[in-house]
């Protein structure tokens, strides 16, 4: 095993060790094959918690009561002391964050001033995430509308790489998410596409502090999710999850609740065991009050064979 693989395995294991519209009957019941109990820990995005209280502590408590083991913030932009107070009073840690403004302020932008702002946001997110005990920052690297793929590929890697010394110093990983941003896949293509470009993109950083937060639902429209997981392998440090139906909206496809639609969760579970995944999985679906958060948590349990 090379140093890069060893470092990635260490980060993944350490991250895991830090934790110990359709009707409900339509939810997929997890079969007995390849359950992920003991391998996968549940987290969610802070924006999903929509309770009546404005208290950050109450929002953390609501997520914990619903069955989540951690929460992801949007960084930078938080009151660090308020977050620390919410963690202490709720007992719910922050496992990571999502980089703020990464859709609008992009590392692929042709304007160097915009790229400088994108770098500032990323460095700020790394520092703030570390300050509240998190160990990863999710990043959308840019958008295909910013230029030819080869051009924005190099441009984004060059810009993001400037943050790697900070990531290494802090021990916080930068995790690229596979999203509908017209990059590393054909947005107008069919469902036979592979994750090969995503794998090459991550490898081009040549750093154990860059990996993927692979979104299980985002690219089912474009390829076999289980096979994408197998291709990406140890590059996957964390997961996001939602459901997807390829046949919804007259074949145009649509996102669904976790476990609904036609996404092959049985093969997803199998693929995750094959790559020996241990770590966090973040719900990224419509949130709501305490009852809705509990529903999301239960849907994850069914889809992944938890409990």
**Cis-peptide into 20, omega within 30 deg:** no
pLDDT for position 10: 44
Q: What is the average pLDDT across 83-101?
A: 98
The encoded tokens of residue 60 equal: 């953390």
8-state DSSP, 5: H
pLDDT for position 175: 98
- Output b/e per residue, 251-282; b: 16+ Cβ within 10 A: eebebbbbbbbebebbbbbebbeeeebbbbbb
Asked whether residue 251 carries a pLDDT value surpassing 70, the answer given is yes
Report the alpha-carbon distance of residue 268 to residue 28 in Å, rounded.
13
Side-chain-facing half-sphere of 114: CA atoms under 13 Å: 16
Q: Which of 241, 181, 176 is nearest to 211 (CA)?
A: 176
> Could you tell me if 208 and 174 are in contact, meaning their C-beta atoms sit under 8 angstroms apart?
no
Q: What is the average pLDDT across 45-68?
A: 97
Report the alpha-carbon distance of residue 218 to residue 184 in Å, rounded.
13
pLDDT for position 33: 84
Predicted structure pTM score? 0.90
The full set of domains in the chain, from first to last, is: 3-20+27-304 (3.20.20.150)
The SS3 of residue 142 is: coil
């Amino acid at each position: 095993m090379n140093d890069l693989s060893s470092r990635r395995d260490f980060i993944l294991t350490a991250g895991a060790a830090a934790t110990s519209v359709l009707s409900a009957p339509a939810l997929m019941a997890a079969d007995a094959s390849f359950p992920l109990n003991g391998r996968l820990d549940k987290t969610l995005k802070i924006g999903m918690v929509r309770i009546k209280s404005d208290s950050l502590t109450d929002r953390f408590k609501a997520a914990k009561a619903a069955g989540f083991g951690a929460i992801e913030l949007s960084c930078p932009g938080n009151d660090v002391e308020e977050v620390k107070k919410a963690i202490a009073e709720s007992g719910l840690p922050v496992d990571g964050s999502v980089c703020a403004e990464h859709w609008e302020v992009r590392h692929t932008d042709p304007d160097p001033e915009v790229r400088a702002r994108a770098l500032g946001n990323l460095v700020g997110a790394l520092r703030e995430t570390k300050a509240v005990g998190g160990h990863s920052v999710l990043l959308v690297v840019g958008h295909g509308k910013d230029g030819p793929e080869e051009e924005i590929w190099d441009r984004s890697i060059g810009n993001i790489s400037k943050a790697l010394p900070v990531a290494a110093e802090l021990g916080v990983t930068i995790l690229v998410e596979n999203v509908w941003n017209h990059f590393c896949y054909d947005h107008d293509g069919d469902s036979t596409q592979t994750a090969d470009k995503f794998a090459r993109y991550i490898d081009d950083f040549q750093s154990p502090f860059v990996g993927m937060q692979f979104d299980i639902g985002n690219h089912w429209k474009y390829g076999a999710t289980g096979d994408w997981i197998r291709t990406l392998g140890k590059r996957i440090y964390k997961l996001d999850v939602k459901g997807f139906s390829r046949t919804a909206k007259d074949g145009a496809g649509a996102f669904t609740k976790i476990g609904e639609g036609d996404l092959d969760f049985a093969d997803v579970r199998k693929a995750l065991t094959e790559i020996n995944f241990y770590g966090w999985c973040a719900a990224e679906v419509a949130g709501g009050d305490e009852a809705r958060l509990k529903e999301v948590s239960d849907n994850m349990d069914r889809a992944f064979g938890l409990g």
